[in-house]
Structure 1
Amino acid sequence: MRLSILAAALALTFAAPAAAQTAPAPAPVSTAATADVATPEAIVAALYDVISGDAGVARDWGRFRSLFHPTARLMPSGVNREGVGVVRSITPDEYITRSEPLLVGEGFHEREIARRTERFGHIAHVWTTYESLHSLADPQPFARGINSVQLFHDGTRWWILSVYWQGETPAAPIPAEYLPPAN
C-alpha cells in the first residue's frame, strides 16, 4: 500500500512541472456555420468545398479559418530532390498566403473519392483520399493523394487540429484500401 502511494506521489510530482510548462492553448472562438462543424463528415466536406473553385473565383477564407482550431497546422509532405522525405508545418493563414495565387489563378478543385474514419470520444481521425482537378470539366485529375485529418470535438462543435497530406507518386501509389471499392 505504501509503495502505491509513493508511486502516485512521484507521478504527481513529475507531472506537475511538465503541466506547468505547457502554455494553455488560445480559447477557440467559433464563427463557423453550424452545418460545417456538426460532424466529422461535414467539416471535411466544408474543407474540400472552401478550397475548391474555378480559376478567378475568390475563396471564402473566413469560412476556411472558422474550421480550424487556433492551434491548428497544415502539413504537406513529400520527397525533396535528393529523395529524402520532408514535411513542412504551416498555419491556416500561411496556407492561404502560399496557396491562394495558385488556387485562384489556375483553378483548383479537390474532391474526396474515399474515406476511412476512426473515432474515440472527443477525437476523430479521417483518412480522406482526394483527387485534384483545375476544372470540374477536366477529364482526368492532375493529382491524387491522401489527407490525414485530425479532429477535436469540444462538446459543441468539431475543429480541425491538423491536415497532414501526401500526394500520390509512381513510387508511392495509393493503396487499394484507401481507394473506392472496385465495381
Structure 2
Amino acid sequence: MKNQILSFVFISLIAAPTFAQDAADLPEADPADVESVDALIAAVYDVISGPAGEKRDWDRFRSLFRSEARLIPAGVDPGGEFGLRFWGVEDYISQAGAFLEERGFFESEIHRVQEEYGNIVHLFSTYDSRWKEDDPEPFTRGINSFQLVNDGSRWWVVNIFWQGESENASIPEKYLPQG
C-alpha cells in the first residue's frame, strides 16, 4: 500500500507540470474554432489554405495547438530513404509558412475515420491538396493522423502526423470517400 501511495505521488508530481503548461504564451483561440472536433479540424485546414500572396493567420494556427504539439511529416526523400521530421508549431510555420503563402495551397478533408475514448480523439483525415482552389484535380493526396484532447474547456491539437500518397503507399479504400 505504501508503495502504491508513493507511486501515485510521484506520478502526480511528474504529471502536474504537463497539465499546467498550456496556454501561457499562446494566442487566445476563437471559441468557435475549438468547441468541437469538427470545428478544430476545419480551422486547421482553413488556416493553411489560401491563394498565392495571401498571408496566413499564424496566430490562429498557434491557438489551435497545445504548446508541446508536434507536426510530423513522413515520407521518402529524393534519395529513396523513408524518414520523419519532428516540428513544433513554430518550426512548421518557419519551414512551410512562406511556401504556402508564396505558392498558394488548398488542402481539403475528403474522408475521416475517427476513434474516441474519454477526453482523447484520434482521427485519420484523408486529404487532397491543390495549388489553386479551382484546380480540377489535386496534385497530391494523403492522410493526416490527428491526435486531439479536450481539457474540459476546449479541444486542442496534440499532434499531426502525415504521409502523402505515393507509388509505394496508396491510400487504402477504407480511408477514401465511399460512393
Give the TM-score of the pair, scaled to structure 2.
0.89
Alignment counterpart, residue 17 of structure 2, candidates 6, 24, 39: 24
Deviations 1:16-55 (Å, cap 9, x if unpaired)? 5566556713232571111110111110000000100000
Structure 1: gaps of 5 or more residues: none
Deviation at 1:165, TM superposition (A): 0.4
Where in structure 2 are the equivalents of 1:61-76 lying within 5 Å? 61-76=58-73
Which residue in 1 is equivalent to 2:153? Answer: 156
Structure 2: gaps of 5 or more residues: none
Q: State which structure, 1 or 2, has the greater radius of gyration over its C-alpha atoms.
A: 1
SS at match of 1:171: coil
Deviation at 1:166, TM superposition (A): 0.4
Which aligned segments of 4 or more residues in structure 1 are displaced greater than 6 angstroms? none
SS at match of 1:24: helix
CA distance in 2, matches of 1:120, 1:14: 25
Alignment counterpart, residue 126 of structure 1, candidates 115, 123, 128: 123
Q: What do you get for the CA RMSD once the two structures are aligned? A: 1.9
Which residue in 1 is equivalent to 2:110? Answer: 113
Which residue in 2 is equivalent to 1:59? Answer: 56
Where in structure 2 are the equivalents of 1:41-60 lying within 5 Å? 41-60=38-57
Number of equivalences: 175
One-letter amino acid of the counterpart of residue 69, structure 2: A
Which residue in 1 is equivalent to 2:3? Answer: 10
Alignment counterpart, residue 133 of structure 2, candidates 127, 132, 136: 136
Deviations 1:119-178 (Å, cap 9, x if unpaired)? 111111111000000001211111110000111101110000111000100100000000
